Amino acid sequence: MLILSSKRTKIHLYITLCGLVLLVVKSQKIRKLKFKVLSSLLISCFFAYSVSIFAFAEEVTKFTSSSTKARSILVVGMPHLAGESDIQIQELRAYLKSYWLDWGLEYHYEIEFQPVDLLSSSKVLHGGKVDILAAAFYHPEHENDQYVSIPYVTFSGALYRQYGSSSPSKKVALHLPHTGKGFDNPFLLKQTTNFCDLITDDSEIDLIYSWAPWLASEELKKLPRGMRFQKIQKTAPNLYMRAAVSRENRELMLKINQSMRSFDSVSSIQMWQKHISSETRFFKTALGEYASDLPIELQQYVLEHPVSRYAYFDGGFPPYLIQDETHVMGYIPDLLDTIGSRTGLTFYAERFATVNQAIDAIKNQRVDLLSNLFKTPQREREMLFSQPFDNSMTVIVSNRHSQFLRFDELKDKVISAVDGTQVSKKLKLLFPIEQILLVDTMDEALLAVAEGSADAFIGNGLNASFKIHKLNLGHLSVNKPQGFENDQLYYFGINKNKLALKTLLDLGLHSVGDIELDQLHQKWVSSVLVQGADKRYETLYRTVSTTGLVVILLALFLGTAIKIYLTNLRKTKLEVVNALALAEKSREHAEVLARAKTDFLARMSHEIRTPMNGVLGMAEALSYTKLSLEQKDLLDTLNGSAQNLMALLNDVLDFSKMDAGKLTVEQTPSNLDGLLTNVINNFRHKAKYAGLELNLRVDEQLSDNYLTDPTRVMQLLNNLISNSIKFTSSGFIELSAQLLAVDSCEPNIHTIRIDVRDTGIGIEPEKIATLFDPFTQAEGDTTRRFGGTGLGLSICKEITEALGGEVKVTSMPGKGSLFSIVLNLVSTEEVGILQGTANDDIDHILQCSSFSNLSILLAEDNPVNRKVIGGQLARLGLEVDLAENGLIAYQMYQQGNYDIIISDCHMPEMDGFALADKVNSEREGSRPRIIAITADALSGAEQSCLSAGFDNYIAKPCPLDILQQKLTAEILLLPAQESRCLENYEQLIVDREEIYGTNDFVVHASHPTEVDGDTSGLVIAEHNLIPEPLDTFPTVMLAEERGHPTNMVNPEDRDEICTHFNAEHLLELSGDDQDIATDILDVYLSGADEDLQQLEALVIGLEFHLLKDLAHRVKGSLRYLGALELGDISQCLELACVNEDIDSVESLVSELVKGLQQVKLEVSVWLQKEVG
């Protein structure tokens, strides 16, 4: 039946029958032919018939096969939406029908269509009602029961923001109607299916993404009054529509993917435009760029893993990864989308807190890849790497007016860099550490250049350009350094088990051309990355051209306003002239007032000091007479009140000079030891009267003489010690000086710290911030209880800053305070004033019998002052001639032979300056020593006096001990033929330890060493500026004695040492206060275990930088406890960490851990024994 029904069969039979009929009809004629010819004709007919039969059989076979295929029917589920929503996808549905019909013809399938609701599409597929879903979305929940194709339609959604909401949003959400859970969420958002469910009265959602804007527009109209959203122009990620089949039809899905890959861009666009109008903006085809020749094994990988996840960390890595309100965007997402358009893969981002967590996620197979990694040997053992996709172009960012094109131009410039990056590590090898400003973020680094605290920034070019544009730092210039080819490449790090993914990424990167990469760069960086030297002229040309065009346009548009502008300009100019004239008058008036104020204070200073000199001098003279107890008490009250009045006067005058900016300091060779000794001696009696112990500690490493202002240094220390005595009722006060560092480039520059420590009432932490403000005291009732103006510490701060140093304070209420002053002083070989000399030696010199021949002339116009100073000199056993003014003194000088002349500066007839000038000019070879004594304390009197020819300076009123010190200093400097009492002086010199006495002992200090200049400009001594913990206030005791460098100890010998902890050493540092020592040990034990754990952990990880810091901290603690040998080991460990000597580090850590365990045990035993 099949054969008879065939048209071709009927044709063959018809031809055969016709041939037979013709033979019969013509039979008569055939008879006439010869038999041979007839036979030939019959044979030909049978041959033709046979050929027809064979051809027919072949056709029947083909037809049978074709009929079998035509009977293979596939049901394709077409997307349908409920109600009016379906209207918007009619064109899309027409396109899908056309696509699947063409696909069926290509693969010999009969295609039937069935409408499917998106919400129930997965159930329909798994129930077998359809073979293929034409509209499906990838979701991890369906990985085990269905396959999805590569994307072939792209959805472009819309973002809506509520009116009046501020960015960043409070909450964001997805509007995904008709999708159910068959949708993989690529956003950082909450998911819902209905606007009305999404928006409630108590919700805080203000940003919404919808994949169906036509539905969102309708549902927005249903919102309550007052809740309105507007569509915003903002890029959102695409959603990809795919085909889906059940898990059993794997081969079918491979065919579907192969067909989708076969489309080229022209055919895919033609097919799309045939069904989709140009007005449709929500959909577009994803076909046309897929690689058609992808190996079958890679096609199978894409089938099994259609989606790959890449890691990013909080804050992103702009412009590569930028974390937005709704999703992650940037250079990397765009590049991965481009790779996906070639391979069929889709990439979604997954957030992690830090980059280390992101890398761990690759190792643990939680994600598939991570971008922007540098390739290192260690990482190559842990993950796979793709081909490089970009380089971390190193650039120099600077201000446009001072651009740098080479690294050698950055010599002596401050360079900012992000700490911890590869660039910062390289900079430390190229430049001195003090030249590098390390910050935490690139924003801080660029702002440092923009604000002028750094000259240049060195870092990644793409990052820098993006940040400059984002921070609106248009005045910064980006340049690639010439002759520097040290850019590192960026790679994708890939899960170790995803070799096929690596191959796909490499193929995708290879398919992305240079033009596409340039477009990506231009998209995310609005300005040119690198501006070489040639670019400057191009930029200048564009700037000039643009400016010229703007000027022309302004001239055209503003021509009519020129007259108004000129009128306003004249008016403004007149106002400015008037304002300047008024300002000039105000300035002149202010200067007159300032001069009047200064003159008034100077006169008041002189006028007040003159009578006060008489009061104090007479009170001092009266104290040497025989007095009753009541009279002595009255005299003490008089002295105390007068001294307080002078202190208040000095404070007010000093503050006035500071307020006027006229505080000046001198650079005079000064003996620091002598300065400190004199300060202590000034307060020794007062401290003894108050029942306080007054100690002095001086570092032996200090030089004898430094260039500084001895008067200001003494004023500074006097203020601090006076404060300490005032606020300390019991305990001790300690003055100490230590050498902190020596400049490796200029060894004569020393960094010195001077500490004043007391056990007084202390200061509340919240009061310390305002402690140095003028007219401020720590407590409101301090003035009532202790007196004072609140200016003392403010003056101390101003003096310290004028000396080029800084002052800091730490304090604990009820336990005491520590004031620390750090100064950079220049050591000098010149002999300094205030050379430290013991009081007994001074008395011995002054009481020498031959001093009766010493001749002194006093020139003073004030009779009270003559009486006071004359009486003081007489009490010192010295004879003095008195002159009422400079002229009389000059005449007496010409007639006599004086060793020392003491002269007031301001006198009638001839002042002290003229007297000094005449004396110096007449007897240059052998003139007397000239000492100025004046009440002028406001105008830099000391410097003026010394410049005028005086040899020394005394301020009125002058206590007897100060006068005694000044005279002694001058006596020692008299010419040899005139110093008739000095032949035995060398016998009176004693060691400094003997001068200071039993309570004033010298601090042992480690010898400062110099290091290479490229490591650090200064070698910092082995202690912190402020001792820790704060409640102990320990005196800093350095670990090594002068001239005894640290030597390594044989480990075998070290094992024989049974103890490390030295309790006596700690008690000595704690002022023999066992409570303080106990507190120190408790603090040490509380952190000992953590130190041991960190040591062992850091040496395993070979984290040299952290290990070095820990060794430095442990070293300080050990030297406090007297474990000096372990402190030396810690110091050696520091050096080994700097050199990254693994063997030495491991050996030293082992020894140090053993020692720390021993110290911990010894401290515990001591505490148990002493405290219980």
Asked if residue 765 has pLDDT above 50, the reply is: yes
Asked if residue 455 has pLDDT above 80, the reply is: yes
Phi, psi (deg, nearest 5) at residue 406: -140, 155
Number of H helices, E strands in the chain: 39, 37
Strands 900-904 and 855-859 turn out to be parallel
Torsion of CA 50, 52, 58, 61, to 10 degrees: -100
* Residue among 763, 667, 684 at smallest CA distance from 718: 684
Identify the pLDDT of residue 975: 66
DSSP character at residue 743: B
pLDDT band at 20 (very low <50, low <70, confident <90, very high): very low
Identify the pLDDT of residue 1045: 36
The kind and range of the H/E element at 756 are strand 749-758
Q: Distance between CA 257 and CA 1048 in Å, rounded? A: 73
Asked if residue 1050 has pLDDT above 80, the reply is: no
| Range among 150-164, 204-218, 437-451, 1132-1146 rated most confident | 437-451
2-6, 500-504, 634-638: lowest mean pLDDT where?
Answer: 2-6
Q: Distance between CA 507 and CA 527 in Å, rounded? A: 30
Could you state, in order of their start, the residue ranges of all structural domains in the chain? 7-70, 74-152+240-290, 157-237, 307-390+499-530, 394-486, 670-827, 849-983, 1051-1170
Q: Distance between CA 647 and CA 231 in Å, rounded? A: 74
pLDDT band at 203 (very low <50, low <70, confident <90, very high): low
Q: Distance between CA 514 and CA 372 in Å, rounded? A: 19
Concatenated DSSP letters of 175-222 = E-TTTTT-----SSSEEES-HHHH--TT--EEEEEES-HHHHHHHHTT
Burial of 582 (0-12, 13-18, 19+ CB in 10 A): exposed
Identify the pLDDT of residue 783: 45
Identify the pLDDT of residue 890: 92
Share of the chain above pLDDT 70, in %: 70
Asked if residue 724 has pLDDT above 60, the reply is: yes
Identify the pLDDT of residue 956: 74
Identify the pLDDT of residue 281: 73
Average pLDDT over residues 682-709: 88
Yes or no: say if 136 and 219 are a contact pair by the CB < 8 Å rule.
Answer: no
904-913, 1032-1041, 1074-1083: lowest mean pLDDT where?
Answer: 1032-1041
What number of other Cβ atoms are within 10 A of residue 859's Cβ?
29
Q: What is the three-state SS of 340-372?
A: HHHHCCEEEEEEECCHHHHHHHHHCCCCCEEEE
Q: What is the three-state SS of 292-312?
A: CCCCHHHHHHHHHCCEEEEEE
pLDDT band at 1058 (very low <50, low <70, confident <90, very high): very low
- Its sign, for the CA torsion 1030, 1031, 1035, 1039, is negative
What number of other Cβ atoms are within 10 A of residue 325's Cβ?
18
pLDDT band at 343 (very low <50, low <70, confident <90, very high): very high
CATH for 74-152+240-290, among 3.90.1150.10, 3.40.190.10, 3.40.50.1950, 3.90.920.10? Answer: 3.40.190.10
Phi, psi (deg, nearest 5) at residue 208: -135, 140
More confident residue, 529 or 1031: 529
Asked if residue 377 has pLDDT above 70, the reply is: yes
Asked if residue 28 has pLDDT above 60, the reply is: no
Same fold, 74-152+240-290 and 307-390+499-530: yes
Omega before residue 177 within 30° of 0, cis: no
Phi, psi (deg, nearest 5) at residue 1050: -60, 130
Average pLDDT over residues 661-671: 78
The token pair at 148 is 């999805």
Helix 710-726 and helix 792-802: axis angle, to 10°?
150
DSSP character at residue 1002: P
Identify the pLDDT of residue 256: 96
Asked if residue 292 has pLDDT above 80, the reply is: yes
More confident residue, 718 or 837: 718
| Range among 95-104, 584-593, 979-988 rated most confident | 95-104
Asked if residue 208 has pLDDT above 70, the reply is: yes
Identify the pLDDT of residue 754: 95
Phi, psi (deg, nearest 5) at residue 543: -65, -45
546-555, 561-570, 1065-1074: lowest mean pLDDT where?
Answer: 1065-1074
Q: Distance between CA 696 and CA 679 in Å, rounded? A: 10
192-196, 272-276, 292-296, 883-887: lowest mean pLDDT where?
Answer: 192-196
pLDDT band at 1026 (very low <50, low <70, confident <90, very high): very low
Q: Distance between CA 913 and CA 903 in Å, rounded? A: 9
Identify the pLDDT of residue 632: 79
More confident residue, 992 or 704: 704
What is the Cα Rg of the chain in Å?
A: 49
Residue 967's identity, in one-letter code, is L
Contacts of the segment 536-545: beta carbons below 8 A, 24+ positions apart: 536/403
User: Strand runs (DSSP E) across 854-908, as ranges?
Assistant: 855-859, 879-883, 900-904
Asked if residue 70 has pLDDT above 90, the reply is: no
Asked if residue 334 has pLDDT above 80, the reply is: yes
Q: Please count the residues of the chain.
A: 1172
Find where tokens 């004046």 sit: 934
Yes or no: say if 342 and 284 are a contact pair by the CB < 8 Å rule.
Answer: no
CATH architecture type of domain 1051-1170 = Up-down Bundle (1.20)
pLDDT band at 655 (very low <50, low <70, confident <90, very high): low
Q: Distance between CA 753 and CA 828 in Å, rounded? A: 18
Average pLDDT over residues 651-656: 65
Concatenated DSSP letters of 823-859 = EEEEE-SSPPBS----HHHHHHHHT-GGGGG-EEEEE
pLDDT band at 66 (very low <50, low <70, confident <90, very high): very low
Asked if residue 777 has pLDDT above 90, the reply is: no
| Range among 436-445, 804-813, 871-880 rated most confident | 804-813
Give CATH for domain 670-827: 3.30.565.10
The tally of CA atoms less than 13 A away on the side-chain side of residue 377 is: 0
Condensed to tens digits (0 to 9), the pLDDT of residues 733-759 reads 999 999 989 988 888 999 999 999 999
Assign domain 307-390+499-530 to a CATH class. alpha beta
Average pLDDT over residues 83-101: 84
pLDDT band at 247 (very low <50, low <70, confident <90, very high): very high
Find where tokens 């970009």 sit: 390
Assign domain 849-983 to a CATH class. alpha beta
Q: Distance between CA 585 and CA 581 in Å, rounded? A: 6
Yes or no: say if 460 and 438 are a contact pair by the CB < 8 Å rule.
Answer: no
3-class secondary-structure state, position 878:
coil
Identify the pLDDT of residue 1134: 82
Assign domain 394-486 to a CATH class. alpha beta
Burial of 1069 (0-12, 13-18, 19+ CB in 10 A): buried
Yes or no: say if 411 and 523 are a contact pair by the CB < 8 Å rule.
Answer: no
Asked if residue 1104 has pLDDT above 90, the reply is: no
Mean pLDDT of the chain: 76
